[in-house]
């Protein structure tokens, strides 16, 4: 009788067994229904799916059927002839992601103890995770395909997001339905430290501060700089990194936040000066609930001060807003931010550029995770996608830990090539 597992040499099987043996114990979670498979066994099988680059759960089931020895390595019942696909899909949909996060944090702690993750430079970024719904299939006919107010019938948790790419210096934007995986990684070792998966319609900047707080409370890392692209250029983020995280923000400048984005300069008294050279007058301080910020409004002095209007009845520039707007030209100054932090960052210095160059480590991490079929999963739903992404991170960390413990610290990033080189 032909036994396919003979195709795998014993030496290679021992390497897989060694990697899977490093997986921390995962406690049993059972809510209702028939008794589940041991979570550790299921996660080991899903790690093998990543290591062998299997595209979906059906391929994993067939693979385990063809290689019974791998079923034994995963600690499945040796007398079981097949493993239903439904068992794996149910696990991904129902198993709490917080338990897998505990396993991932355990692996990060071990890599920190082996001095592989220093946290001296950490980088933040996000990656699109495309849901397998018909709205993402260009060959199907869908009404209002990219209407952000609609809900996908196949995956109600999926939301509309965008991806930005540059081809020959030309910016290209495409839409997709799905999720985004937000990570913080060690920029020097290129290993992930924290990750979270959320619907694609939530902006990246909303997760950086909570992730930094989690890293600060969970890991004892001395971070010198936090790296990120312009999507994270927010005054709240810069203030948090400096005052609370006690690090240096190395974040690309967003043109909307630069001084050149405003057509009004400030006088020595901190009052905006209009194009005609007049100091504008205050129209009051208010709290903008829609954008959650405190603002001070200034308007045209001719429109806002009768005494000034008697001396200067008309706008010297004949600005269109002077005739079409009740207040003429107007501008706002935010009062809830500290602009001194952004002004203190020397964006053009060689030191800033040298540190910022390490931000591409996040993109290289995503390229390895995407090779583990994370970007185009075969399951739907926020919890299932979150578990798929977390297990992809666990796989990367397991490979790094196996490389360190086997004396191959120079191969901690060999996600696919570690087994042949181990």
At 15-47, the pLDDT tens digits run: 888 999 999 988 877 666 666 788 999 999 999
**218 and 264 belong to one structural domain:** no
Name the pLDDT band for 384 (thresholds 50, 70, 90).
Answer: very high
Residue 68: which domain range?
4-95
- Looking at the chain, how many residues does it have? 422
- Residue 219 and residue 161 share a domain: yes
- Statement: residue 397 has pLDDT above 60: yes
Q: Averaging pLDDT over each range in 60-64, 107-111, 273-277, which range is the top one?
A: 107-111
Output DSSP code: residue 252. P
Average pLDDT, whole number, for the chain? 88
Range 126-148 average pLDDT: 90
Residues sharing a CB contact under 8 Å with residue 233, sequence separation 6 or more, in sequence order: 251, 252, 253, 254, 257
Cα atoms found within 13 Å of the Cα of residue 354, Cβ hemisphere only: 3
Give the lowest-confidence range in 29-33, 66-70, 97-101, 265-269.
29-33
Per-residue pLDDT, averaged over 368-380, amounts to: 85
Cβ proximity of 421 and 403 under 8 Å: no
CB 378 within 8 A of CB 366: no
Flag whether pLDDT at 156 surpasses 60.
yes
pTM of the model: 0.85
Per-residue model confidence (pLDDT) at position 375: 78
Nearest to residue 61, comparing CAs of 39, 89, 40, 38? 89
The three-point CA angle 327-286-318 to 5° equals 15
> Quick one: 165 and 62 in the same domain?
no
Q: Which two tokens stand for residue 414?
A: 């060999």
The answer to the question of residue 147 being in a domain is no
Mean local confidence (pLDDT), 177-200:
96
State whether residue 120 is helix, strand or coil: coil
Output the pLDDT for position 166.
Answer: 77
**Which pLDDT score, from 0 to 100, does residue 261 have?**
43
Mean pLDDT of 159-177: 86
Residue 60 Cα distances to 385, 386, 399, angstroms:
17, 19, 19
> Is a pLDDT exceeding 50 seen at residue 114?
yes
- Do 368 and 239 fall into the same domain? yes
Give the separation between CA 10 and CA 22, rounded to whole angstroms: 19
| pLDDT range class, residue 265, cuts 50, 70, 90 | confident
Compute the Cα dihedral for 53, 58, 61, 63 and give only its sign.
negative
Residue 39 lies in a domain: yes
What CATH number is attached to the domain comprising 179? 3.30.420
Considering its fold, how many domains does the chain have in total? 3
Q: Are residues 224 and 132 in the same domain?
A: yes
Distances from the Cα of 257 to the Cα of 45, 206, 235, 253, angstroms: 47, 17, 9, 7
State whether the Cα torsion 225-410-114-44 is positive or negative. positive
Residues 244, 229: one domain? yes
The proportion of the chain whose per-residue pLDDT surpasses 70, expressed as a percent, equals: 92
């Amino acid at each position: 009788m032909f036994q396919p597992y003979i195709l795998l040499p014993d030496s290679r099987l021992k390497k897989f067994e060694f990697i899977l043996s490093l997986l921390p114990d995962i406690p049993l979670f059972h809510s209702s229904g028939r008794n589940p498979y041991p979570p550790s066994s299921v996660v080991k099988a899903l790690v093998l799916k990543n290591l062998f680059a299997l595209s979906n759960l059906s391929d994993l089931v067939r693979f385990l059927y063809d290689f019974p020895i791998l079923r034994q390595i995963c600690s499945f019942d040796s007398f079981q002839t097949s493993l239903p696909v439904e068992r794996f899909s149910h696990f991904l949909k129902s198993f709490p992601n917080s338990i897998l996060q505990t396993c991932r944090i355990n692996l990060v702690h071990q890599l920190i103890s082996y001095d592989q993750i220093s946290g001296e430079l950490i980088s933040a970024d996000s990656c699109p995770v495309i849901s397998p719904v018909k709205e993402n299939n260009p060959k199907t006919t869908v009404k209002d395909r990219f209407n952000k107010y609609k809900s996908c019938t196949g995956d109600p948790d999926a939301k509309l997001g965008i991806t930005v790419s540059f081809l020959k210096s030309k910016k290209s934007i495409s839409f997709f339905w799905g999720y985004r995986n937000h990570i913080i990684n060690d920029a020097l070792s290129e290993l992930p430290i924290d990750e979270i998966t959320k619907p694609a319609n939530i902006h990246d900047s909303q997760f950086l501060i909570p992730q930094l707080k989690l890293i600060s409370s969970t890991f004892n890392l001395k971070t010198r700089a936090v790296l990120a692209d312009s999507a994270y250029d927010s005054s709240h983020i810069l203030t948090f990194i400096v005052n609370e995280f006690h690090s240096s923000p190395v974040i690309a400048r967003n043109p909307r936040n630069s001084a050149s984005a405003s057509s009004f300069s400030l006088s020595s008294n901190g009052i905006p000066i209009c194009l005609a050279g007049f100091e504008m007058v205050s129209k009051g301080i208010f709290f903008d609930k829609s954008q959650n910020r405190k603002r001070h409004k200034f308007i045209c002095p001719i429109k806002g001060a009768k005494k000034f209007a008697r001396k200067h009845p008309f706008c010297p520039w004949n600005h269109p807003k002077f005739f079409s707007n009740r207040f003429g030209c107007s501008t706002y100054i935010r009062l809830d931010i500290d602009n001194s932090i952004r002004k203190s960052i020397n964006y053009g210095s060689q030191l800033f550029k040298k540190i910022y160059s390490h931000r591409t480590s996040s993109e290289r991490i995503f390229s390895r995770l995407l090779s583990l079929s994370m970007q185009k999963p075969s399951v739907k739903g926020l919890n299932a996608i979150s578990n798929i992404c977390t297990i992809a991170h666990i796989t990367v960390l397991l490979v790094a830990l196996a490389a360190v413990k086997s004396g191959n610290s120079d191969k901690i990033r060999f996600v696919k090539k570690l087994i042949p080189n181990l």
